[in-house]
Amino acid sequence: MAADTVVYDRLAETALPCDLSPQVELHSVGKKKGHHPVQQEEINTLLVRLAQQGKRVVRLKGGDPYVLGRGGEEAEALADAGIPFEVVPCVTSGVAVPAYAGIPVTHRQEVVRVTMVTAHESKKEGGPQVRWDLIGADPHVSLIGYMGVTSLPQVVEHILESGMDPKMPAAMIERGTTSRQRVVQSSLDELPQAVEKEGLRPPALFIIGSVVRHADKLDWFGKRPLIGERMVVVAPVGEMGEALEMNGVELVEVPLPVTPAARVVMGALPLTGCIFRSPDEVEAFEEERDSQGWSPEMVAWCLTPDTTTRARDLNWLQVEQISDSPAN
């Protein structure tokens, strides 16, 4: 990544390159439900200011910047200031997240239209911009709702009142595409209760439509044997890393010395383990163990006897010795 500074959202934290030079400025402008420490107007101003200082700026966003991501607003601010820019299209989470849950958003002769909405449209005063009446009357549409946890009951109420089948398949997906992905499936009328029962929290999106019925058959991601594991390893990792990722591990490859960007990535989601190939690697991460994302329950997976001994000497609570062979 050729940049002098990176301005990134919370949902893009795991996408930061861990080997990003420490000289690159990092600006977090992430939003959480009910907590927007940096308002959109401030983000626009920040992008303009950094560019006017002659810096190469990367604006890193989750999903596609132009699909319900306010990328258009930010690009307009740059255009108004006379600043040239480039937009890199990506796969929007409304397509990528269902795919990771085994749900195609369209299916020939079954679902031929897709409607993407920000679910809080259902709670807007003065009337929503979404035509719930048209969506509810259409059995051949996939309705995908971003930021949909708290607004889900209102959305379901609107589309049931508009005539959608109460037993239409539906799903809510939490932290899709990550090691913390969770999926709840049910019929449309029971989805709010099912989501509440399982305790799903933002970030999450929902999909309502007959395509959800394919999820169990097409769930390639959730069936991997090591799904849910998020491990740190010193880069480069080689064939062992490929084998771990193929089996479902979310692998965080970190350079030494540890960079600021790597600390952001490691802290983005809870870590479950750390793979050590030498005693030096155990010692290199000693100062990181109190950081965001780390916990005393993490497993030290050690590839040699002396590495195992060093991890135990440094009071790792769970230490396992393994082989570095991809076959094992």
Q: Report the catalytic residues.
A: 9, 31
Q: Which two tokens stand for residue 158?
A: 């609107």
Contact call for residues 58 and 12 (beta carbons, < 8 A): no
- In which residue are the tokens 């002098």 written? 4
| Helix %, strand %, coil % of the chain (to 5) | 35, 20, 45
The two beta strands, 169-174 and 182-187, are antiparallel
Q: How many other C-beta atoms are found inside a 10 Å radius of the C-beta of residue 28?
A: 14
Please confirm whether the linkage preceding 257 is cis (ω < 30° from 0).
yes
For residues 228 and 250, give the distance between their C-alpha atoms in angstroms, rounded to a whole number: 8
Please confirm whether the linkage preceding 203 is cis (ω < 30° from 0).
yes
Instruction: Map residue 20 onto helix, strand or coil.
Output: coil
Q: What is the largest CA-CA distance in the chain?
A: 67
Q: Which two tokens stand for residue 251?
A: 């692998």
Nearest in space to 275 (alpha carbons), one of 321, 242, 238, 314: 321
Q: Which two tokens stand for residue 261?
A: 């960007």
Q: Which two tokens stand for residue 181?
A: 């992905």
For residues 293 and 230, give the distance between their C-alpha atoms in angstroms, rounded to a whole number: 10
For residues 177 and 97, give the distance between their C-alpha atoms in angstroms, rounded to a whole number: 6
